[in-house]
Amino acid sequence: MLPELLVTIEKMRSRPVADERKKALQPLIGYLKNKVDQGQGIKLNFICTHNSRRSQFAQIWAQTAADFFGIPATCSSGGVEVTAFNERAVAAILRSGFKVVDPGGPNPVYSVFHSGDGAPIQAFSKLFDDPVNRKGPFAAVMTCSDADEHCPYIPGAEIRIPLHYEDPKAFDGTPEETAGYDERSIQIGAEMFYVFDL
């Protein structure tokens, strides 16, 4: 892991997860344990409406946590509309210690690195059934209530897990913007490390 990212990870791992969030995370933990016990690979697809903030955070932090703990998992993300990985969310990932390569363009495919020798995480806005996302069976992890309500059926999902997060978009254009995005990223990161610490 990159040195600055390791500092963030250590801080996150010492951050307590609230009891109500532990309850919300339990179905995902159970899914992972079941797959590990059966010697099966894990596929997670984090889904939010625009695939621009929360689902991107979740994909990046879940893949990082899986790699940190040596758990074979493929983490992806998607939405019901294509927009772009929000630049404020990208900045929060950078502040956490990831290396990010931005190729530019209206919906850039960012390469996000958590280590110096590992393959990058590809982060860009796409539909949840985009060909780049591995086909099922996978766990559909619904990171926002809007997508959860408007996606009654997700092809290929063997389980659907509601794991809603508050949208950092609420902080856009305010003095609390940076802190708001950092807080949501770190919350999601801390919870993904809690989940993968099997």
| Residue 129 parent element (H or E) | none
Please compute the mean of the pLDDT values over residues 141-153 and round it to a whole number. 79
Homologous superfamily, domain 3-196: Response regulator (3.40.50.2300)
Confidence of residue 155 (pLDDT cuts 50, 70, 90): confident
DSSP lists the bridge partners of residue 99 as 113
| Residue 74 parent element (H or E) | strand 73-78
73-85 pLDDT, tens digit each:
999 999 999 999 9
42-69 pLDDT, tens digit each:
999 999 999 999 999 999 999 999 999 9
- pLDDT score of 151 more than 80: no
Confidence (pLDDT) at 145: 81
- Percent with pLDDT over 90 in the chain: 89
User: For residues 135 and 156, what is the distance between their CA atoms, to the nearest angstrom?
Assistant: 6
1-34 pLDDT, tens digit each:
999 999 999 999 999 999 999 999 999 999 999 9
